[in-house]
Structure 1
């Protein structure tokens, strides 16, 4: 069973700045690679968040020219509950000199016998990341102008 979720968020910063932020490795522990395609990250959640304690994801596409990054879960997480594919795609689109749009997409495939678990997929964490990125960049911009 194939599924797809998407969301667009406006970030009040230039696309080049947002791309640098989204392309960073600060949010996870690097398992292998240099941050380019093929890099594997170990994503570990703090205790108490519920669900799986973490998973490993691999950067399957990084297109710096078009500002597109794709990752796929390669171990744990959604793969442990019947998903055969869980992919996140982020695209940063220019929206004038001082803003851009973050297009977030989740694509997944799940075994028919585990189809009920598809309800666990949510775009909300990507919405939250976009909001945090916007807040962070606005806060830093204000401090630079002071």
Structure 2
């Protein structure tokens, strides 16, 4: 059911931003966490994950909430070191029932070197009462003129989910 929701979301969002869903490429990762899904969702659903990223990822200099309070429509800018490159995203979906959060990239990352669309989605899937799976999906489309270079997103999904796993298991 959740897999279907994710696919439907990506297709609808791609249509919304003017990209044929067949043009979207996906990078999907799953990580099992020994913590309840409700605790993982609490970390992911608001600004908790953003605050954790600053403390746990050495290449993140800072994050700024440019707009919003952590809900849908919130715009967050993350600045990296070295070089002070940045990535800005807007939260587009926060579904407490399905435990799904998605953000659309606005600037930076692969949008700066050949992608036309970048969508980052996190699904928190309950496995048992005390464990869950954090599923991350990065969906992107490449502009025609950059297809030969095959740009890929550099969003550090694996590092983010690993840092959240360590945090959740340590505090469980």
Normalising by structure 2, report the TM-score: 0.72
Retained in 1: the 8 A contact 2:124–2:132? yes
Question: Aligned equivalents of 1:19 and 1:93: distance in 2?
Answer: 9
- Does 2:129 align with 1:97? yes
- Does 2:78 align with 1:43? yes
Aligned to 1:4: 26
Runs of 5+ consecutive residues of structure 1 not aligned to the other structure: 142-146
- 1:128-139 aligned at under 5 Å gives the runs 128-139=159-170
Aligned CA-pair RMSD: 1.8
Q: Which one has the bigger helix percentage? A: 2
> Which protein, 1 or 2, shows the higher relative CO under an 8 Å CA cutoff with sep ≥ 6?
1
- Does 2:67 align with 1:32? yes
- 1:1-146 aligned at under 5 Å gives the runs 1-25=23-47, 26=51, 27=53, 28-47=63-82, 53-121=85-153, 125-141=156-172
Query: 1:76, CA displacement in angstroms?
Result: 2.8
Question: Aligned equivalents of 1:92 and 1:137: distance in 2?
Answer: 13
Runs of 4+ in structure 1 displaced over 6 angstroms? none
Runs of 5+ consecutive residues of structure 2 not aligned to the other structure: 1-22, 54-62
Q: Please give the secondary structure, in 1, of the residue aligned with 2:150.
A: helix
Corresponding pairs, count: 137
Question: Aligned equivalents of 1:119 and 1:32: distance in 2?
Answer: 29
Question: Aligned equivalents of 1:8 and 1:33: distance in 2?
Answer: 29
Q: Map Cα deviations across residues 3-31 of structure 1 (whole Å, 9 max, x no partner).
A: 11101110110001001112242243100
